[in-house]
């Protein structure tokens, strides 16, 4: 009777802890679901460790191809900040694909159709909250791969030479045979048994240290397989084709799953007798290493399948992230209307354009059938307008979402030469860096007839006025050709006349109110008629004598075309 009561108490305790575990898991799941619901469409303030940042480009680096966004354009447009603003993902597969998508604009008719499909999925997830949140909950379970990309982990597998389990299997057979030999000849049997036993234990410790780091690769592969299997239970008709493909791919990994039962067991923990026992069994018989070799063989045989699964899964979460980003754009957004492939590129028409990183932006519109030359005073909005237009075109061709009221354009290869700086490591001056950046655009135009959309801020600012204007004129003229649409900003009013046959003139202007200068940030037709560099000296508090003499010199140059420092050197000496 006492024994029955003892076992009953044990059973009740087991049931209690089981029910408590279920309740705790349910509570955590409800809390996570509430967090997912509350975060949709809200700005994300996520912290990124340096190790994680280095892994984000993993999918992109593994899928490099021609005409992706180059580093200069990516940095000019501040695309890291755009990525962080848009990265409403919970898994490594999702955030790595989002990064890849932002660097891979659609350029062909097939890619345009795929982009349209992406846009339709984003819109579907925006409208179906229940299904969206169910998927996001699953992506939380998939999680992140740690400080490295999954492609880093898979790449590590190539460093392992081909492994065979034949030696371990032979030793296991010999160990069992020596145990049987002990019945016939105990001294010889025991001697053989312990020799083989110590041989196994020694070789196990060496091989275990070598294979341990690679188990992380297999762990994320198994999570991808489990995730693909769980998708079968979700009702997401817009992803039906993807779900079927994932299911077919997942079924190829049956042998991997069987091997993972032993090969993926973790180290023993205090109070876990089964794990302790299995550690000793593995040390003696190498069962986990035999399974590891089997898993290694399976993964290497199916690397392309793993890649495809990561792509399908990542693309789906990319849609979820963009849906949340769309909802976070308080100033509105639109789906682009992209023309079919046109060798001439065609006009670019944007209404209500703004930059998504600005909290209170001023919207502008542009209809560009040929090159656009933008002039205006310092800080009037030229650079921001160019970045906004370039970014809008890029987002149209990557995530089918534009920070604008309407967008019509073609499929362009997009290049910029804007936020450049001296290259201290190579010792190149700003001017050398600048002309290299411009040369790459000219080379791209010459090498491929596909349409180009390029943006140049302050053409050749790194050299003297005479050579700058002469060289800038010829560079911009060379970018005026069929299939090329160039937006350029400049302080050099002379360019507006030299290029008026090839470029449409637009400008920004300001209003001076006492000691203050106010900018409207509105794009206006025509060339700029004001300047403010000298006036800004006064606003900052420069000596009035400096400002007065600078104004006089500027007015005299505009009247005569010649520079003069005045009748004496005294003002300059006083200024010094």
Grouping H, G, I as helix, E, B as strand and the rest as coil, residue 77 is coil
State both tokens at 523.
């794009």
**Mean pLDDT, residues 307-323 taken together:** 96
Residue 274 has pLDDT above 60, yes or no: no
- Please determine, for residue 442, whether its predicted confidence score (pLDDT) is greater than 70: yes
Is 454:486 a contact under the CB 8 Å cutoff?
yes
The CA-CA-CA angle for residues 529, 535, 536, to 5°, reads 115
Residue tagged 């046959």 (tokens): 501
Q: What per-residue confidence (pLDDT) applies to 533?
A: 73
Q: Is residue 117 classed exposed, middle or buried when 0-12, 13-18 and 19+ CB atoms within 10 A define those classes? A: middle
Rg (CA), the chain: 33
Among the ranges 4-13, 190-199, 296-305, 562-571, which has the highest mean pLDDT value?
296-305
pLDDT in tens, 339-389: 876 666 678 999 999 999 998 999 999 999 999 999 988 788 899 999 999
Q: Contact at 8 Å (CB) between 44 and 87? A: yes
* DSSP category for residue 502: T
Residue 27 CA, chain-centre distance (Å), reads 33
What pLDDT is attached to residue 267?
A: 45
Q: Which two tokens stand for residue 180?
A: 């049987």
Angle (CA) 539 540 542, round 5°: 100
Q: Which among 97, 220, 206 is positioned nearest to 156, based on CA atoms?
A: 220
Mean pLDDT of 192-201: 76
Q: What is the pLDDT of residue 279?
A: 66
pTM of the model: 0.83
- Reported as a single tens digit per residue, the pLDDT across 467-517 is 888 989 999 999 999 999 999 999 888 899 999 999 999 999 887 776 677
Q: How far apart are CA 154 and CA 217, in angstroms?
A: 6
Backbone angles phi, psi at 187, to 5 degrees: -60, -50
User: For residue 158, what pLDDT band results from cuts at 50, 70 and 90?
Assistant: low
Reported as a single tens digit per residue, the pLDDT across 241-269 is 999 999 999 999 988 887 776 655 544 44
Q: Which of 10-24, 125-139, 217-231, 289-303 has the lowest mean pLDDT?
A: 10-24
Contact between 376 and 529 (Cβ < 8 Å): no
Q: What is the pLDDT of residues 511-554, one digit of tens each?
A: 777 667 788 899 999 988 766 777 777 777 788 888 888 888 88
d(CA 508, CA 519) in angstroms, rounded, equals: 8
Boundaries of every domain in the chain: 2-153+317-328, 337-508
Rounded-to-integer distance, Cα 393 and Cα 408, Å: 9
Residue 35 token pair: 């967090």
Give 132's pLDDT tier (boundaries 50, 70, 90): very high
Average pLDDT taken over every residue of the chain? 83
Q: Does residue 117 carry a pLDDT above 70?
A: yes
Asked if the model's pLDDT at residue 572 lies above 50, the reply is: no
84 CB neighbour count, 10 Å cutoff: 14
Q: How confident is the model at residue 205 (pLDDT cuts 50, 70, 90)?
A: confident
Q: In the prediction, which pLDDT does 262 show?
A: 60
Torsion of CA 321, 327, 328, 331, to 10 degrees: 140
Order of strands, sheet of 452-457, starting from the edge strand that comes earlier in the sequence: 413-417, 452-457, 484-490, 371-376, 503-508, 524-525
pLDDT at 24 > cutoff 70:
no
pLDDT attached to residue 575: 39
Length of the chain equals 576
Tell me the C-alpha distance between 462 and 137, whole Å.
Answer: 52
Q: Is the pLDDT of residue 566 over 70?
A: no
Pairing of strands 348-353, 406-409: antiparallel
Is residue 124 scored above 60 in pLDDT? yes
pLDDT band at 100 (very low <50, low <70, confident <90, very high): very high
**Tens of pLDDT, residues 405-439:** 999 999 999 999 987 664 545 556 777 888 889 99
337-508: CATH, from 3.40.50.300, 3.30.420.40, 1.20.1270.30, 3.40.50.150 = 3.40.50.300
SS3 235: coil
If you write DSSP's letter for every residue of 256-303 in order, what string do you get?
HHHHHHHHT-----TT-HHHHHHHHHHHHH-HHHHHHHHHHHHHHHTH
- Per-residue pLDDT, averaged over 304-330, amounts to 95
Distance CA 258, CA 260 (A): 5
pLDDT confidence of 17, banded at 50, 70, 90?
low
Contact 338, 348 (CB under 8 A): no
pLDDT at 34: 83
What is d(CA 349, CA 358) in angstroms, rounded to the nearest whole number?
21
Token reading at 338: 């992209």
CA angle 315, 316, 320 (to 5 degrees): 115
User: What is the per-residue pLDDT for 570?
Assistant: 45
pLDDT of 64 > 70? The answer is yes
Binned at pLDDT 50, 70 and 90, residue 271 comes out as very low
Cα 235 from Cα 224, distance rounded (Å)? 19
Give the angle 502-475-78 at the CA atoms, nearest 5°. 100
Q: Is the pLDDT of residue 392 over 80?
A: yes
Is residue 456 within 8 A of residue 439, CB to CB? The reply is no
Higher-pLDDT residue of 146 and 500 is: 500
Residue 4 has pLDDT above 90, yes or no: no
């Amino acid at each position: 009777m006492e024994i029955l009561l003892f076992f009953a108490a044990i059973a009740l305790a087991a049931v209690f802890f089981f029910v408590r575990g279920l309740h705790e898991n349910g509570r955590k799941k409800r809390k996570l679901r509430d967090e997912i619901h509350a975060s949709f469409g809200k700005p994300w303030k996520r912290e990124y460790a340096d190790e994680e940042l280095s892994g984000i480009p993993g999918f992109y680096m593994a899928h490099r191809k021609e005409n992706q966004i180059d580093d200069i354009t990516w940095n000019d447009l501040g695309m890291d900040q755009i990525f962080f603003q848009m990265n409403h993902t919970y898994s490594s597969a999702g955030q790595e694909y989002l990064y890849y998508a932002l660097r891979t604009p659609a350029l062909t008719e097939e890619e345009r159709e795929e982009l349209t499909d992406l846009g339709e999925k984003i819109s579907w997830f925006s409208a179906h909250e229940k299904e969206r949140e169910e998927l996001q909950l699953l992506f939380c379970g998939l999680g992140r791969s740690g400080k490295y990309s999954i492609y880093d982990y898979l790449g590590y597998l190539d460093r392992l030479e081909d492994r065979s389990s034949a030696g371990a299997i032979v030793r296991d057979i010999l160990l069992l045979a020596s145990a049987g030999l002990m019945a016939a000849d105990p001294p010889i049997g025991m001697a053989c048994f312990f020799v083989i036993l110590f041989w196994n234990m020694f070789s196990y410790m060496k091989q275990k240290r070598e294979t341990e780091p690679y188990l992380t690769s297999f762990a994320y592969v198994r999570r991808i397989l489990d995730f693909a299997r769980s998708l079968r239970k979700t009702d997401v008709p817009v992803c039906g084709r993807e779900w079927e493909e994932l299911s077919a791919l997942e079924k190829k990994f049956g042998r991997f799953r069987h091997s993972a039962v032993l090969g993926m067991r973790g180290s023993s923990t205090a109070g876990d007798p089964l794990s302790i026992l299995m550690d000793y069994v593995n040390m003696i018989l190498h069962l986990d290493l035999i399974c590891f070799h089997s898993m290694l063989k399976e993964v290497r045989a199916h690397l392309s399948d793993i890649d495809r699964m990561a792509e399908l899964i990542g693309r789906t979460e990319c849609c979820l992230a963009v849906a949340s980003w769309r909802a976070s754009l308080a100033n509105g957004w639109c789906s682009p209307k992209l023309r079919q492939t046109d060798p001439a590129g065609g006009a670019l028409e944007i209404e209500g354009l703004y930059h998504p990183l600005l909290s209170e932006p001023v919207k502008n519109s542009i209809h560009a059938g040929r090159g656009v030359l933008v002039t205006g005073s310092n800080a009037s909005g030229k650079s921001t307008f160019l970045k906004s237009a370039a970014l809008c075109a890029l987002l149209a061709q990557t995530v089918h979402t534009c920070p604008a009221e309407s967008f019509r354009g073609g499929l362009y290869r997009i290049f910029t030469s804007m936020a450049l700086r001296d290259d201290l490591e190579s010792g190149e001056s700003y001017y050398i860096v600048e002309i290299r950046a411009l040369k790459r655009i000219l080379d791209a135009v010459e090498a491929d007839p596909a349409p180009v959309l390029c943006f140049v801020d302050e053409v050749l600012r790194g050299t003297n006025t005479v050579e700058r204007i002469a060289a800038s004129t010829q560079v911009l003229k060379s970018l005026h050709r069929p299939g090329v649409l160039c937006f350029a900003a400049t302080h050099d009013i002379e360019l507006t006349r030299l290029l008026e046959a090839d470029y449409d003139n637009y400008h920004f202007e300001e209003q001076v109110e006492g000691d203050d200068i106010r900018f409207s940030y509105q794009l206006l037709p025509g060339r700029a008629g004001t300047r403010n560099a000298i006036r800004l000296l006064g606003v900052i508090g420069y000596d009035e004598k400096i400002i007065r003499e600078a104004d006089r010199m500027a007015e005299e140059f505009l009247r005569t075309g010649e520079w003069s420092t005045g009748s004496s050197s005294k003002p300059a000496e006083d200024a010094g």
